[in-house]
A and B are shown apart, each in its own frame.
Chain A
Amino acid sequence: MVSDQGSFGGVRTGELALERTEVGPVVLTISGEHDLSTAPKLRRQLDALLDEGKVTIVDLSPATFIDSSILGVILDGRRRASDVGTGFEVVQSGGAEAVDRVLEVTGLRGELPVHESREDAFTAASENLEAPTS
């Protein structure tokens, strides 16, 4: 696993970790607090994965705070994945209340959608690749 700690995050909790799974997709785990200061790093990381055409799972479970700039990067990631024809799924399992609230209030939990387990996300990624909806 490759871990990258945010340097401007204030409290040292804004981290990204990359995990290449045996079943194929790459999991990008977002932990700690993320906002405008860490959004560019997340964007670069997602861009690099999608440029390679990797099926990407974004795992928000260990995130304790995300703001609209992070949601924007995730939405852009989903759009880019669709453009390049690869899979892109989001998962959050037992996450922080601040992240829950942001996903609910913006309607993105259903819109993205946000899966409740990595297994669900892997399944959705492979199903969507077999039968793309757009």
Chain B
Amino acid sequence: MVVRQAVAGLGEALGLAASRIADLKTVVTEACNNVVLHAYEDEAGPLIVTAEPHDEQLEIQIADEGQGFRPRAGEGDASLGLGLPLIAALSDSFEITGGARRGSRTTIRFSYSPQEFKNNGSRAEVPAEFAMAITPGVMVKPVIARVMGALAARAEFSVDRLADTVLLGDAVSASGEGDFAEGRFGISIRDSEGRLGVRVGPLVEGAGERLISEMDVPGAGSLRSLASTMEVTSGETPDGKPAEFLEFEVSG
């Protein structure tokens, strides 16, 4: 569901027609269903979604680190067998690679006529913690707004608190490419017991405090007050370099 909202936001940012966004949501949902149903036996595991716009074609990869797709013994679900034909019918091409215990990767190519074509890349991990990295640019704001809104709704936030959460998402979306230690907008959102813990980064030194100061609204206080906690923390980039993170928590 969260991935579907993120992809719909991406489709809107790319200027896709509503009918193509509908198709895009279906093919991505079906590919994710395959992972949820078949990739992992009992343990949880990552579901990684990458979307890259090329010339008039969007390439989406849905990958897992599971056991490969295979029918489960005793599975009597009548839907078995409808998912892949749907992907085939609504996309331009698709392929599945991988194998037993090597993980699987479904690559879907999806054509569109770009009215607005600026940037690329979204990456997502679900379900308990949602993490993604997006190339800064036009798609950050709609994708972050949809993802934070969907997670807040899933956590059963009130309508007011859901709106506050989306506002905070907009505020951090205003960060620029130079703020991020790896040049990509990184955000992880943890959903626990009615609270969302959000971690933005890795950021370059000083970017966290600057983002907080930019949340001041003249004459109306700071958007910071919408979060129950907000602080800049120290951490590392994936390759071990020191970096900082902006962390905040919103409760429903």
Chain A interface (Cβ < 8 Å from any Cβ of B): 7-12, 33, 35-37, 65, 67-73, 75-76, 79, 96-98, 101-102, 105-106
- Closest chain-A Cβ to B242's Cβ sits at a distance in Å of 35
* Complex interface: chain B residues within 8 A of A69 (CB): 33, 77, 79
Residue tally, chain B, CB below 8 Å to A = 31
A70 to B78, CA, bound (A): 10
Identify the 10 closest CB pairs spanning chains A and B, nearest first.
A72-B79, A10-B1, A98-B22, A68-B82, A75-B78, A10-B150, A72-B78, A68-B79, A105-B89, A68-B83
Contact B19 A105, beta carbon cutoff 8 Å:
no
Chain B interface (Cβ < 8 Å from any Cβ of A): 1-2, 4-5, 18-19, 22-23, 25-26, 29-30, 33, 36-37, 77-80, 82-83, 85-86, 89-90, 149-151, 153-154, 156
- Closest chain-A Cβ to B68's Cβ sits at a distance in Å of 19
* Complex interface: chain A residues within 8 A of B80 (CB): 72
Contact of A67 among B23, B30, B156 (CB under 8 A): B30
Contact of B82 among A12, A71, A98 (CB under 8 A): A71
A101 to B142, CA, bound (A): 25
* Complex interface: chain B residues within 8 A of A35 (CB): 1, 4, 29, 33
A27 to B29, CA, bound (A): 27
- Closest chain-A Cβ to B244's Cβ sits at a distance in Å of 30
Contact B86 A97, beta carbon cutoff 8 Å:
no
Contact B1 A11, beta carbon cutoff 8 Å:
yes
Q: List 6 A-B contacts (CB under 8 A).
A: A10-B153, A67-B33, A96-B22, A98-B22, A101-B23, A101-B26
* Complex interface: chain A residues within 8 A of B37 (CB): 36
* Complex interface: chain B residues within 8 A of A10 (CB): 1-2, 4-5, 150-151, 153-154
Residue of A nearest to B147 (CB): A10
- Closest chain-A Cβ to B2's Cβ sits at a distance in Å of 6
A102 to B2, CA, bound (A): 20
* Complex interface: chain A residues within 8 A of B150 (CB): 10-11
* Complex interface: chain B residues within 8 A of A9 (CB): 1, 153-154
- Closest chain-B Cβ to A64's Cβ sits at a distance in Å of 9
Contact of B19 among A12, A65, A70, A101 (CB under 8 A): A101
A105 and B33 contact, Cβ closer than 8 Å, known pairs A9-B154, A72-B80: no
Contact B79 A65, beta carbon cutoff 8 Å:
no
A101 and B90 contact, Cβ closer than 8 Å, known pairs A9-B154, A10-B2, A72-B80: yes
* Complex interface: chain A residues within 8 A of B5 (CB): 10-11
Contact A68 B154, beta carbon cutoff 8 Å:
no
Interface centre among A9, A73, A76, A105 (most CB of B within 10 A): A105
Contact A65 B4, beta carbon cutoff 8 Å:
yes
Contact A36 B153, beta carbon cutoff 8 Å:
no
A36 to B156, CA, bound (A): 19
A8 and B29 contact, Cβ closer than 8 Å, known pairs A105-B90, A106-B82: no
